Amino acid sequence: MKIVRLATFLDFGGVERRLETLSHIRDEHDWVFCAINKGGTAAENIQKQGKRVVCFGLSYKIPSFATIYKLYRFFKKEKPEVVHTSGAEANFHGVLAAKLAKVPVIVSEEIGIPSQSKTAKRIFKFIYNLSDYVIGNSAPVISYLEKENGVKRKKLQQIPNPMIFQELDERPERKDEIFSIVSVSRLEPVKNIESVLRVIAQLLSEQHKIRYTIVGDGSHRFVLEALVKELNIEEYVTFAGYQSNPIPFLQAADLYVLTSFTEGFSNSLAEAMYSETPSLSTRVGAAEAIISEGENGWLVPPGDDEVLKRTLTTILTTDRETRKAIGKKGKQMIAANYSLANHAAMLMKLYQN
């Protein structure tokens, strides 16, 4: 069976990381990983797994009739049994092209909870109704698709993101008294890194010893750098940029923090918990299903600096052994529920139905 996975880009980001992970699958099927626009780190890593990669270099702006036509030509030539699209631009152009090319099975996937206008909701209701199945990676995403995009319940499938459970090095022993916090994220407004920076500035003013490392890149980086300067905390904040392997940064930290306004399934949260790094997240997307408050992590409401500060203060004053135990429980939860094998089996059930 030939399966085409289509994303907008194959560079860096949550979707790209998930496709990288999926490329490690070893089976009898012919997997082709495609990007409407450009490739990059993810494309290179997928190719290293012996999988075929095609980056079209096309416009991804909705609507692009030239993009639909070129994808249609590609699907007609390749004759895949399945086309599976991920993300708004890939869903729009890919589903239409696959339908025109009469691909037997069309699967579209919403990667988070989008901010859609009324017109966009109507457009994607049409797109999703052309699909045989529509995937969401968490219960909140599934609920949004049903309520806001009018997707029929029988088409909806919840499939969580996969992880490869690699052997990890021993966590380095920390001897200094500085509390190390890390975020691994695209630097975009929806990730709300500003909230962490504001709260850290307050905690530093109260004589807490904190170091904050931001791993990732994006269009909002210059805004965050300006805020760090405005808050006068440049000495305590490090921008590490995009890292293909964030695990060493996670293992070196006392706490991972995710403060997104919205989220589907956060790959970096799962990676942090698997690395036994105690984790704090806003109550968004799959976080509430993954984290049991106070047992294997902490949850806070999105956009609430006061609660974030109160929770961070509690964590800062929690003894090291208790935090270590919380980190171990986080790893146990991820390892038990989010394997690549489980993810692939759920996909195949759809593809072969």
Residue 37, pLDDT score: 98
Tell me the Ramachandran region of residue 56: left when phi exceeds 0, alpha when psi lies from -120 to 50, beta otherwise.
alpha
CA 80 and chain centroid, separation: 27
Residue-by-residue pLDDT tens, the chain, 353 positions: 999 999 999 998 889 989 999 999 999 999 999 999 999 999 999 999 999 999 999 999 999 999 999 999 999 999 999 999 999 999 999 999 999 999 999 999 998 888 899 999 999 999 999 999 999 988 889 999 999 999 999 999 999 888 888 777 778 777 778 999 999 999 999 999 999 999 999 999 999 999 999 999 999 999 999 999 999 999 999 999 999 889 999 999 999 999 999 888 888 999 999 999 999 999 998 898 899 999 999 999 999 999 999 999 999 999 999 999 999 999 999 988 888 998 999 999 999 98
Distance of alpha carbon 136 from alpha carbon 158, whole angstroms: 5
Runs of H (alpha helix) within the chain: 14-22, 41-48, 65-78, 88-100, 118-130, 139-148, 193-205, 221-230, 247-251, 267-274, 287-290, 305-316, 320-337, 340-351
Q: 133 has which bridge partners?
A: 107
Residue intervals of the chain classified under CATH 3.40.50.2000 are 2-162+338-351, 179-337
From CA 202, how far away is CA 208, in angstroms rounded?
9
Indicate the class that CATH gives domain 2-162+338-351: alpha beta
Cα 82 to Cα 133: distance, rounded to the nearest angstrom = 11
Burial pattern 203-236, b for ≥16 Cβ within 10 A else e, equals bbeeeeebbbbbbbbbebbeebeebbeebebeeb
Q: Please tell me the distance from the alpha carbon of residue 81 to that of residue 347, in angstroms, as a whole number.
A: 13
Provide the CA 69 distance to its chain's centre, in angstroms: 29
Query: What are the tokens at 148?
Result: 């806001």
Predicted TM-score (pTM) of this structure: 0.74
Q: Which residues contact residue 347 at a Cβ distance below 8 angstroms, ignoring those fewer than 6 apart?
A: 84, 159
Dmax over CA atoms of the chain, in Å, equals 64
* DSSP count for the chain of H helices, then E strands: 14, 13
What is the pLDDT at residue 168? 79
Residue appearing with tokens 């006061």 = 306
CA–CA distance from 86 to each of 19, 59, 157, 244 (Å)?
Answer: 10, 16, 14, 21
Q: Please state, in angstroms and rounded to a whole number, the distance separating the CA atoms of residues 199 and 205.
A: 10
pLDDT for the residue numbered 276: 95
**Fold category of 179-337 in CATH:** Rossmann fold (3.40.50)
Q: Cα(51)–Cα(45) distance, rounded to whole angstroms?
A: 9
